[in-house]
Amino acid sequence: MQSRDLAIVEVHAGELSPAESAQVETIFFEASGRTFAPGPERAVFRERWLGRFLRGGTDVVLLAVEGTETVAGYLVGALEDPTQQPRFADISYFARDFRDLCRRYPAHLHINLAPAFRNRSVGVQLIEAFAARASDAGAPGMHVVTGKQARNISFYKRCGFSQVGATVWSGSDIVFLGRSLPASA
């Protein structure tokens, strides 16, 4: 079921309103399945998986907004190969295991939805909006990395991704899911 009053909007990285930022952060931590007390561990986790995309530059920040104020979900993505960006050096699997795959599928994304908006095509809309932006920017493909047993794999496959790589990172099996993009006109 699609939401009738839902819009996908692009917000320039670094320009989220305080209300949007708070909602994105709430969705981020809900989706992570982890509980953190306020402090350094929470801040490091947020920075690694979300914060680095919200500072500006060529990153894409897409919000699924219901009505005028409710953030249903978000997608943040880097349009360029993470192996060529020092800010991703702390995620060793990019350079160590997925370097060649990142060249084929350079655009990298991170997506989460509020629980009430899952299974309503909101995620598909966000993925397709990012695919269009990445294609327009000249990326030949896009990718996401997730746990081998993660429930989100079937969602990504429905969105046209396929598993093209796998490795073990920090003791967990992870997979690299890639999707080719059409050349922009």
Q: How do the pLDDT tens digits run along the chain, 185 residues long? A: 344 689 999 998 788 999 999 999 999 999 998 888 899 999 999 999 999 998 877 799 999 999 888 999 999 999 999 999 999 999 999 999 999 999 999 999 999 999 999 989 999 999 999 999 999 999 999 999 999 999 999 999 999 999 999 999 999 999 999 999 998 76
Q: Indicate whether 1 belongs to any domain.
A: no
Its domain, for residue 29, covers: 6-180
In a domain, 127, yes or no: yes
Bridge partners, residue 142, by sequence: 107, 179
pLDDT, tens digit, for every residue of 24-70? Answer: 999 999 999 888 889 999 999 999 999 999 887 779 999 999 988 89
Q: Give the CATH number of the domain where residue 96 resides.
A: 3.40.630.30
pLDDT at 4: 60
Domain membership flag for residue 30: yes
Asked if residue 185 is part of any domain, the answer here is: no
C-alpha–C-alpha distance, residues 184 and 137, integer Å: 8
Tell me, yes or no, whether 161 lies in a domain: yes
125 falls within a domain: yes
pLDDT of residue 184: 72
Domain tally, the chain: 1
Q: What is the dihedral of CA 87, 160, 24, 68, to 10 degrees?
A: 130
Q: Write down the pLDDT at residue 2.
A: 47
- Flag whether 164 is in a domain: yes
Q: Are 116 and 66 in contact (CB under 8 A)?
A: no
With beta carbons less than 8 A apart as the criterion, state whether 58 and 137 touch: yes
Structural domain contains residue 66:
yes
The token duo for 80 is: 């360029």
Both tokens assigned to 114: 């509020």
CA dihedral sign of residues 92, 169, 13, 141: positive
Sorted by sequence, the CB contacts under 8 Å of residue 117 that are 6+ apart come out as 3, 64, 66, 72, 73
pLDDT at 9: 96
- What's the whole-model pTM score? 0.93
SS3 62: strand
- Cβ distance 76 to 112 under 8 Å? no
